[in-house]
Structure formats: C-alpha cells, structure tokens
Structure 1
Amino acid sequence: MGTYAIIETGGEQLRVEPGRFYDVRRFTPSKPNLLGPNAKVLIYRVLMIRHESMINIGHPWLRGAVVKGRILHSRLGDKTIIYKMRPKKKTRRKSGHRHNSARFVVDSIHLNGEKLHK
C-alpha cells in the first residue's frame, strides 16, 4: 500500500500523495503573485496519514505531521458563470468570476520528523 495524507487547505480537504500535483483554491495569499514558482510550502493542517498498514488520525489535526511541497505556478481557475433571469419580466443578468488557484506538487510527507516513503 502507498503512503498518502489527507490535508485541509483552501477551504477543502484533499487526499495527497508524494510526487503528484494538485490545484488548490486560495492557497496563495490575497496577492496571487506573492508566492512565485518553486516556492517551498509547508502544510501543517494534516488530518490523517496512512503509511502502508499504519493509519494515524488527528483530532482535528495530527501533531508533528507536515506535508512538504513546492508551488509549480499560480493560475486562474475555470470561469464560474452566474445567470439570473426573472421570467415574464424581461430581466436577465449574466456575470462571472475566476478564482485564484495554485498548482503545487507534494515532495514528501513527514510524521514526527521522520520522512515516510512510498
């Protein structure tokens, strides 16, 4: 069995594995270009770690658990379209927005200072 962790970031929970990349909303601060490419990231909000047959569950987070990674690049997410229409009133309004997101790759998962391998 592989090693994976469940982390909380960007208002959502993700199952992450070392060596894979993920897109996360609100990962960067309010200014999207503050963290550039190859910026190191440490995530301490780790809810669960599974390493082979051992499972560690936090309450709510694990103490001493860190997910280390780096940002590949910042980007805008897919466009969300908001369409409002009032029937029989001839009123229509269409608007939308795009979320700032970042693509980051997980380098390693650590528990109590010990690196957990695949």
Structure 2
Amino acid sequence: MIYAIVEAGGKQIWVKPGRFYDINKVTANPGDRITLDRILFFRNNDKLMLGQPCIPNIYAKCKVLKHIRGRKITVFKMKPKKNMQSKNGHRQEMSRILVESIKTQTS
C-alpha cells in the first residue's frame, strides 16, 4: 500500500494514488497538472520515510478536476441585553484534485 501525508493549503492530508481530495483553492485551471512537493511522510509497502519536516526528492503528481465551494457555515453573534445580533455565512473556496501518483525525483 502506497500513501503519503502531504501539506497542501496549510493542512496535512493523507493521500493515496487514484483518489480525489478537496483542498484549499489552488491557482490552476481545471485540467492542469500540479505537483505537491511538501511530503511529510511516505510509505511504499514495507518502506517508511519520515521527513524533518519534509522529504526531499519525493512529490505527488495531481490533476485539478474542478473548483468548488465548501459547505456553508453560519456565524451568529449575539450580545444579550444590548439588542445586538449579527448573522453571517461563509463558504470556503476549494479545489478538487486527483492524486495520480506519488513518485521519487530522479536527478
């Protein structure tokens, strides 16, 4: 089983090849290929690699599928006895990426 823990968009995500994930929006068009090179942990069957903080020469090749918006979050603030209420919403901009492979860089 091949998997890696990748830092993308300020979050750490456990990724496997052939699956898609939602991360914070990246500046790429749908259909573009991107590489995630901040690999924190890598496992290839019985071989384990741990970065300090990142592992050099390993990257994940990904394809941007589409840009989406996350679930709506309602922010409600109220101060009792002051007649103050505030209701706002927020939807995070996200990108759906497909992890095609996790490879070592040959130089």
TM over 0.5: yes
- Determine the structure 1 residue equivalent to 2:61: 68
Partners of 1:37 and 1:111 in 2: how far apart? 25
Between the aligned residues of both structures, percent identity stands at 35
Partners of 1:90 and 1:48 in 2: how far apart? 51
- Determine the structure 2 residue equivalent to 1:11: 10
- Determine the structure 2 residue equivalent to 1:53: 46
The AA in structure 1 aligned to 2:15 is V
Picking from 104, 108, 115, the partner of 2:97 is 104
Of residues 9-18 and 35-44 in structure 1, the stretch that sits farther from structure 2 once superposed is 35-44
Alpha-carbon displacement from aligned partner over 1:19-40 (angstroms, at most 9, x marks no partner) = 00000013x13xxxxx222110
What is the deviation of 1:112? 3.6
Q: Which runs of 5+ in 1 are unaligned?
A: 30-34, 114-118
What is the deviation of 1:96? 1.7
- Determine the structure 2 residue equivalent to 1:116: none
Tell me how large the CA RMSD over aligned residues is.
1.1
Q: Which runs of 5+ in 2 are unaligned?
A: none
